[in-house]
Amino acid sequence: MKTKPLLNIKSLKEQVYEFLREAMHRGEIRPGAVIDMEETSARLGVSKTPLRDALLQLEMEGFVAILPRRKVVVNVLSLDDIKNSYEIIGALESTALLRSFDLLSEADIAHMRRLNAEMREAIDRDDFDLYYARNLAFHEVFLSRCGNENLRKIIHNMKRRLYDFPRQQGFVKEWEQASIGEHSALVDLIASGNKEAAAAHIRDTHWSYSIQEQYIARYYQKAASILKS
């Protein structure tokens, strides 16, 4: 006979955090919006303590700004924010790849090729959600081997900040296709054992703001138009 767990696995703070993040992801809470703590705590049926703790975490991750008099504003993602994020993610992923390079097996390389092929198939079907999931999984192959969990967490948080704008349904197809080509080049460099070139490719091409800027402008212009609608 199964016994009922004595404790909820997730704390109230974690549940409130996930509720707010999902609401941002779906576009129910938009950048620039003010989060009313009184209304939100009443809606969720929780005290202000777990709500405040969740908002503090969101502030540390860059999603909100907590202002005087209990005013909480959802941050708008500016082009400067995006540029800075690309520079940071590029540096961190390059470091992660250098750390994990010698641990990547032939099976890992084959897995990366397979994920990249699935990304291409997803784009051919205009399935951006599947593309996005496979894209994260592709990078996770080497991130998971780097042995630095704090580095992984920083990258994951920054990617959520970049892509959950909120996440728009459409995408810039040329950008996704270019990214798939960059992935192919990266896998070839890894397979050939060219560690330094692979790390440079991640940093100076894949996460280069100047190289990706033409696509970034188009993608986030779409997102901005959605926010105004």
Q: Which of 74, 95, 221 is nearest to 161 (CA)?
A: 74
Q: What's the pLDDT band for 98 if we cut at 50, 70, 90?
A: very high
Does residue 67 contact residue 73 with C-beta atoms inside 8 Å?
yes
The predicted pLDDT at position 99 comes to 98
Cα angle 18, 221, 154 (rounded to 5 degrees) comes to 40
Backbone angles phi, psi at 104, to 5 degrees: -75, 125
Q: Which domains does the chain have, with CATH numbers?
A: 12-74 (1.10.10.10), 79-228 (1.20.120.530)
Query: What does the pLDDT read at residue 163?
Result: 81
For residue 177, what is the enclosing H or E element?
helix 173-191
Neighbouring CB atoms inside 10 A of 2's CB total 4
Among the residue ranges 114-123, 127-136, 190-199, the one predicted with the least confidence is 127-136
Which pTM does this prediction carry? 0.84
Q: How does DSSP classify residue 72?
A: E
* Mean pLDDT value across the chain: 89
Q: Which residue has the higher pLDDT, 78 or 123?
A: 123
Strand order in the sheet with 64-67: 34-35, 71-74, 64-67
| Mean pLDDT, residues 134-163 taken together | 95
Contacts of range 215-221, beta carbons closer than 8 Å, 24 or more positions apart: 215/172, 215/174, 215/175, 215/178, 216/79, 216/82, 217/79, 218/172, 218/175, 219/168, 219/171, 219/172, 219/175, 220/77, 220/79, 220/82, 220/165
For residue 79, the model assigns a pLDDT of 87
| Segment of 121-135, 161-175, 181-195 carrying the highest mean pLDDT | 181-195
Tokens 């100076």 -> residue: 204
Distance of CA 130 to the CA centre of its chain: 14
